[in-house]
Structure 1
Amino acid sequence: MCEYNEDLLIDFRGVSFIRGGKTLVGPVDWQVELDERWVIIGPNGAGKTTLIRMASAEEFPSSGEAIIMGERIGRTDMRDLRAMIGVSSSAVGNRIPPTEKVGDLVISAGYAILGRWREEYDTFDESRSEEILRQVGAWHLRERTWGTLSEGERKRVLIARALMTNPELLILDEPGAGMDLGGREDLVAYLKELAMDPDAPAIVMITHHVEEIPEGFSHALILDEGSVVAQGLIDDVLTSENLSTAFHQPITVDRIGDRFFARRA
């Protein structure tokens, strides 16, 4: 039985996830502290989304010991844990009706619903949603409906919604997917500001592309076929050798300023 460390938001010891007799992830040892910003990278099918579904209390591990926010999975109400975790993912976006107004989508996150029905919100809720929409550069979208937004605009709104509950842990599942170059760079710039903010929650972000990793991210974990290739401080992990191993081809990684760039060698 592992001891609880109050500085750890995620504490996985020998965690595995098995479905249909196939091991999708694990066994994995992984710890995330309060002030860390993690990126998880790997090829399609590596198990990235499965890993963060366990980290966001959406899935139970098949084996091992998983402690999230000090609570051991399997011995606590998962709904209470989810309330402390902000998640921005395409799975959330796919459930949003196209007629939902952006302002309602964000403010209703505090009530664990998608959009507004007959609820009345207090002044604090209204001011917090306004503050967050301004932070992510989406205040001008507040009266727009979900179905009229571009991919980049949707990603900003989903992040705003994830931040509305003032989470201790923010999980971003491929926030740059589907964006054009300009949209991606706008998002990376915002995520840099968020990562550098000492009052921001711990962040775990999934991506396929090292170019999408903002300055300020401190740690990285590389997955391949459900197993950890490398994890630790980002400069030690994002190497040509490690990425070549994960993607099964010769990859060269360069660092220009505070950004990473990768190409086939």
Structure 2
Amino acid sequence: MVLHMENVSLKRDGAWILQNVSWDIKKGEHWVLFGLNGSGKTAILNMLNAFHFPSNGQVTVLGKKFGKTYLGEELRKRIGFVSSALQEKLHQHDNAFEIVLSGAFASIGLYDRPTDRMRERAIDLLKQLGCFEYANRNYNTLSQGEKQRVLIGRALMAEPELLIFDEPTNGLDFIAREQLLDTIQAIAQRPDSPTMIYVTHHVEEILPVFNKTLLLKKGQVFSAGNTEKMISSQQLSEFFNIPVTVFWQNDRPFISR
């Protein structure tokens, strides 16, 4: 079991952010975490990375039970994290190669000396992700799409068991978005792919490889199960409280009113 959440609630500043959330993810599954802004998606991600601890309930991530074992940097090394919000925290004058290398230490910036093996892996990832040509360019000179590819390389650097994409297409144009989604699909199809969670509020970004979906609404699980059932006209009409129509094209869902 990669993730086990049982009746998890989270209270911050006197308000309940999450209430009675239960969610199980098995090794090799690829899930979508779908919810509108303010639904509690970020709170769940902070919990998975051991930045928040539950006010009530039980959380176990990669065999580490919250409250029973030391959590923190060692757990985060086993979790790859790709998020537009992370871009702001990185050292903007580090080059792409250094950004990817820092993933080996789950650190912002390079403070330890990388091994030769780490350097070789970083170069290999840059080549696989089509980033090698700008490996020596400062991060702040890259386009948004290039930055996200570098972040994926950073996330894969430590060979994570769980890979999380948090709204990774924010700020991308249509072409850059589709290129990034193709990259994510390719990663998921590898035999050694980590378990993946894709967080979004855009239905059209749900790739065929994500065959499980959890619908999160106002801090509670609205429903969870097979993606085709969750992302349906009936289910989403109830979820949004407005009538919508879901149609599928090339194994991807699209929504209209």
- TM-score class, shorter-chain normalisation, is over 0.9
Cα-to-partner distance string for 1:154-212 (whole Å, 9 max, x where unaligned) = 11111110110111001111011111000000011111111112211000110111111
Match of 2:85 among 79, 84, 91: 91
Match of 2:63 among 62, 70, 79: 70
Give the aligned partner of residue 108 of structure 2. 114
1:55 and 2:48 equivalent? yes
Give the aligned partner of residue 82 of structure 1. 76
- Which SS does the other structure have where 2:103 is aligned? helix
In 1, are the aligned partners of 2:33 and 2:213 still within 8 Å (CA)? yes
Q: Which moves more between the two structures, 178-187 or 122-131? A: 122-131
Q: Which moves more between the two structures, 129-138 or 224-233? A: 129-138
Deviation of the 1:120 alpha carbon? 3.3
In 2, are the aligned partners of 1:172 and 1:206 still within 8 Å (CA)? yes
Give the aligned partner of residue 255 of structure 1. 248
Percent of aligned positions with the same letter in both sequences?
A: 36
Q: CA RMSD in A?
A: 1.4
Cα distance in 2 for partners of 1:59, 1:244 equals 32
Read off the aligned partner of 2:90 and give its amino acid letter.
I
Match of 1:179 among 172, 177, 187: 172
TM-score, normalised on structure 2?
A: 0.95
In structure 1, stretches of 5+ residues that fail to align are 1-7
- Which SS does the other structure have where 1:52 is aligned? helix
In 2, are the aligned partners of 1:195 and 1:215 still within 8 Å (CA)? no
Read off the aligned partner of 1:175 and give its amino acid letter.
P
Cα distance in 2 for partners of 1:137, 1:261 equals 28
Deviation of the 1:91 alpha carbon? 3.0
Read off the aligned partner of 2:95 and give its amino acid letter.
K
Deviation of the 1:259 alpha carbon? 1.0
Deviation of the 1:227 alpha carbon? 1.2
Give the aligned partner of residue 239 of structure 1. 232
Deviation of the 1:223 alpha carbon? 0.9
1:103 and 2:91 equivalent? no
Cα distance in 2 for partners of 1:126, 1:97 equals 19
Deviation of the 1:19 alpha carbon? 1.0
**Count of matched residue pairs:** 256
Deviation of the 1:141 alpha carbon? 2.0
TM-score, normalised on structure 1?
A: 0.92
Give the aligned partner of residue 123 of structure 1. 116
Deviation of the 1:64 alpha carbon? 0.3
Give the aligned partner of residue 3 of structure 1. none
Cα distance in 2 for partners of 1:256, 1:13 equals 35
Deviation of the 1:10 alpha carbon? 0.3
Cα distance in 1 for partners of 2:211, 2:128 equals 22
Deviation of the 1:134 alpha carbon? 2.0
Cα-to-partner distance string for 1:2-54 (whole Å, 9 max, x where unaligned) = xxxxxx11000101111122211121110011101111111110111111221
Match of 1:223 among 210, 216, 220: 216
1:208 and 2:179 equivalent? no
In 1, are the aligned partners of 2:77 and 2:105 still within 8 Å (CA)? no
In 1, are the aligned partners of 2:40 and 2:216 still within 8 Å (CA)? yes
